Amino acid sequence: MRFHSPSIQYFHAVRRTGSIRAAARLLNVASSAVSRQILKLEQEVGSPLFERNARGLTLTTVGEMLARHVMNVLQDLDRFRSDVASLSGAWHGTVSIACIESLTESVLPDLIASHRTRARRVSFTAEVMGSSDVLEALRRGEADIGIAIALRHPPDLRQVALKRFRLGALVAREHPLARRKTVTLEQCLAFPVIQALPELSIYHLLQPLIAQLSETPEPAIQANSIDLMRELAARGVGVAFQTQLGVGRLSRDAQLVFLPLDNAGSPVWSDLGIYVRAERTLPAFTESFLQELVRELGERERRENAAYPHVA
């Protein structure tokens, strides 16, 4: 079912690989064939699509415009294919997800597992990365659904939902703070803290608040892995910071205690956004999973904010 001209597909491969020969290998054709299609395309458009650097090819402005069109075409082709397939009862395809690390502990595995029991022929690809990389992966068409800290998103992405979760401190059960209901930042900084490196969005959430304080935190441990920070906190190394989403089951085993942050009487929010490409209609099975994801995150938002109500 490949009824689009080779130029389109070749262009798409060249854009992704950044090289004609690499694209040719990917497509199992001769590099000359790819080269000629690109040249023909540039002649039709009337403007070069790539800048030829010695190291490979980079999109020009017009090239980026065409890339957007080609992505719209190919993604809509995917949707068409799945529409036809679902007509004969066969729901199958691949949902590709790009998300930040907080989701990997519980939300995503739970959801995927539960979805797979109902729709066994829908497979998944999940990739963990930073928030801005999530948006970039969506723009480049490398993922269908993105979950990231809600930054200002570019206009070619659509924010399907926005859920806010409380940021909190994570300490071992034996930690002196563990008996409190909530903690303030100052209280945490009296102990060794496990700080997030700037690659993690937690850093950007906490840094402005820390800067407001007079004291500087005692230097302890810096890490760029939510998982590592959590495990460190469980071993009593120090106080870690994250949303309860990233904690999940472990805290229910009572190894860890989650203490919502209380910053001068008001909670510290971490806004989680769910994104898809704006210029796109999702295949039915992808749309279906997206709905479940939104529902589940909404459910967690409700539950967790009910567990730790804050003064209004």
Partner DNA sequence: TATAGCCGTTGCCGAAATGGCAGCAATATG
Partner DNA sequence: CATATTGCTGCCATTTCGGCAACGGCTATA
The CB-of-141 to DNA minimum distance in angstroms stands at 20
Q: Is 56 left (phi over 0), alpha (psi -120 to 50) or beta?
A: left
Q: Near a copy of itself by CB under 8 A, which window of 80-88, 126-134, 223-231, 254-262?
A: 80-88
Q: How many CB atoms lie within 10 A of CB 16?
A: 15
**Segment contacting DNA by CB under 7 A, of 24-32, 95-103, 167-175, 219-227:** 24-32
Choice from 61, 159, 207, 291 touching a copy of itself (CB under 8 A)? 61
Cβ distance 161 to 188 under 8 Å? no
Residue with tokens 């937690």: 202
Min dist. Cβ of residue 64 to a copy of itself (A): 10
Q: Which is nearer to a copy of itself, 88 or 214 (CB)?
A: 88
- CA 48, CA 224: separation in Å to the nearest integer? 41
Give dist(CA 287, CA 186) in Å, integer: 44
- Among 1, 2, 28, 309, the residue binding DNA under the rule CB under 7 A is 28
**Site stretch for a copy of itself (CB under 8 A), options 22-30, 42-50, 93-101, 140-148:** 42-50
Which 38-77 positions form the footprint of DNA (CB under 7 A)? Answer: 38-40, 52, 54-57
Please report whether residue 83 would count as binding a copy of itself according to CB under 8 A: yes
32 binds, among DNA, a copy of itself, none (CB under 5 to 8 A by kind): DNA
In the complex with a copy of itself, the residue whose CB is nearer, 67 or 100, is 67
51 contact partners, CB below 8 Å, separation of at least 6 = 57, 58, 59, 60
Minimum CB separation of residue 63 from a copy of itself in Å reads 10
Q: How far is the CB of 13 from DNA (least distance, A)?
A: 11
Q: Name, in order, each residue with C-beta under 8 angstroms of 19's C-beta and a sequence gap of 6 or more.
A: 56, 57
Distance CA 201, CA 125 (A): 23
* Total chain residues near a copy of itself (CB under 8 A): 30
Q: How far apart are CA 306 and CA 295, in angstroms?
A: 16
Tell me the CA distances in angstroms from 170 to 56, 234, 243, one per residue in order.
46, 8, 9
Which helix (H) or strand (E) element contains residue 9? Answer: helix 6-17
36 binds, among DNA, a copy of itself, none (CB under 5 to 8 A by kind): DNA
Residue 150: CB minimum distance to a copy of itself, A = 23
| Residue 13 binds DNA (CB under 7 A) | no
For a copy of itself, the closer CB: 86 or 255: 86
Cβ-contact 150, 271 below 8 angstroms: yes
Q: Which is nearer to DNA, 39 or 197 (CB)?
A: 39
DSSP string, 90-150: ---EEEEEEE-GGGTTTHHHHHHHHHHHH-TTEEEEEEE--HHHHHHHHHTTS-SEEEEE-
- 250, amino acid identity: L
Among residues 1, 8, 11, 30, the one that binds DNA under rule CB under 7 A: 30
Binding site for a copy of itself (CB under 8 A): 1-5, 7-8, 41, 44-47, 61-62, 65-66, 68-69, 72-73, 76-77, 79-80, 83-84, 87, 278-279, 281
